[in-house]
């Protein structure tokens, strides 16, 4: 009788361990750590809370402004984006990133147009992304929901925010699924290291590393990013491909 009870306890312990092992394996397989899916390394030791200001120009004429804030509290980093295209649209975005999980956990966006307001709230957990978008134009309301599972995706604002802290290799990164917060859609994009270039912006002259982020998907936006090589590393200039627009660091 005692032997039977002992064997039963052993079976329960073994079964519990198997369940735990299965859970851990599944947990590990469904994680979406930033950098791993793109074979990149991020140096968080250099990432500190800061605010940078930019001017948007078309043919050297000011058409808007961009304010980018990084707020770091323990294992949580929040990226705040205020983009203003004068007289047309204002975008306020907030991206929350967990450095322990190396994942985005939440995003918010609010777009104010002359005659409409669009808001979006997004929750992310591992490969699962759930979002609710609302477009309000006068008394008319349109809704869009996203509830999907997609492996190896990255949020576009996060990729831009972490660019100065990424160790870039001199090669092209395979296609990645990039989620555009403003358009509520995924774009297939490619990243390519284009080399180095010395550029001058209102904040000064910088030796930069030149990175391309491109897509052929309809409605997508492709950019060339210039990241200062000196410390502290900063995003110095952004070229909007095909739109003759530059976004330059002011301070």
Residue range 60-78: mean pLDDT, rounded: 96
105 burial (CB, 10 Å; 0-12 / 13-18 / 19+) is middle
Q: State pLDDT tens for residues 141-187.
A: 999 999 999 888 889 999 999 999 988 877 766 688 899 999 999 99
Q: CA 197 to CA 217: how far, in whole Å?
A: 28
Residue 231 pLDDT grade (very low, low, confident, very high; cuts 50, 70, 90): confident
pLDDT of residue 13: 40
Q: State pLDDT tens for residues 174-227.
A: 688 899 999 999 999 999 999 999 999 999 999 999 999 999 999 899 999 999
249 burial (CB, 10 Å; 0-12 / 13-18 / 19+) is buried
Question: CA-based angle 229:232:238, to the nearest 5?
Answer: 60
Domain ranges of the chain: 1-30, 41-249
CA-based radius of gyration for the chain: 22
Long-range contacts of range 12-21, CB-CB < 8 Å, 24 or more positions apart?
none
Question: CA-based angle 22:152:37, to the nearest 5?
Answer: 95
Residue 33 pLDDT grade (very low, low, confident, very high; cuts 50, 70, 90): confident
pLDDT of residue 7: 46
pTM of the model: 0.84
Is the pLDDT at 3 greater than 90? The verdict is: no
Question: CA-based angle 228:179:125, to the nearest 5?
Answer: 105
Q: CA 37 to CA 14: how far, in whole Å?
A: 34
Q: CA 41 to CA 191: how far, in whole Å?
A: 14
Let me know: does 52 contact 232? Beta carbons within 8 Å.
no
118 burial (CB, 10 Å; 0-12 / 13-18 / 19+) is buried
Between residues 248 and 33, the one the model is more confident about: 248
Is the pLDDT at 11 greater than 80? The verdict is: no
Residue 34 pLDDT grade (very low, low, confident, very high; cuts 50, 70, 90): confident
Residue range 99-120: mean pLDDT, rounded: 95
195: left (phi over 0), alpha (psi -120 to 50) or beta: left
Pick from 135, 131, 137, 224: which is nearest to 180 by CA? 131
Residue 88 has phi, psi (to 5 degrees) of: -125, -55
Q: CA 165 to CA 39: how far, in whole Å?
A: 14
């Amino acid at each position: 009788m005692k032997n039977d009870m002992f064997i039963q306890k052993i079976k329960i312990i073994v079964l519990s361990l198997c369940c735990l092992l299965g859970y851990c394996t599944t947990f590990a397989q469904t994680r979406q750590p930033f950098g791993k899916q793109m074979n990149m390394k991020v140096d968080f030791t250099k990432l500190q809370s800061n605010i940078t200001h930019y001017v948007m120009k078309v043919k050297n004429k000011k058409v808007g402004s961009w304010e980018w804030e990084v707020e770091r509290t323990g294992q949580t980093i929040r990226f705040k984006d205020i983009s203003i295209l004068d007289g047309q649209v204002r975008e306020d975005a907030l991206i929350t990133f967990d450095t322990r999980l190396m994942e985005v956990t939440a995003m918010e966006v609010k777009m104010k147009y002359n005659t409409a307001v669009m808001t979006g709230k997004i929750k992310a957990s591992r490969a699962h992304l759930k979002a609710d978008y609302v477009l309000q134009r006068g008394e008319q309301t349109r809704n869009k929901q996203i509830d999907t599972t997609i492996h190896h995706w990255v949020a576009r604002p996060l990729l831009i925010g972490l660019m100065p802290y990424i160790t870039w290799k001199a090669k092209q990164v395979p296609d990645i699924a990039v989620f555009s917060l403003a358009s509520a859609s995924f774009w297939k994009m490619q990243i390519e290291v284009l080399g180095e270039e010395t550029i001058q912006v209102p904040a000064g002259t910088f030796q930069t590393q030149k990175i391309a982020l491109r897509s052929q998907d309809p409605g997508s936006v492709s950019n060339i990013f210039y990241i200062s090589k000196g410390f502290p590393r900063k995003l110095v200039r952004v070229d909007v491909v095909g739109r003759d627009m530059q976004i330059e660091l002011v301070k």
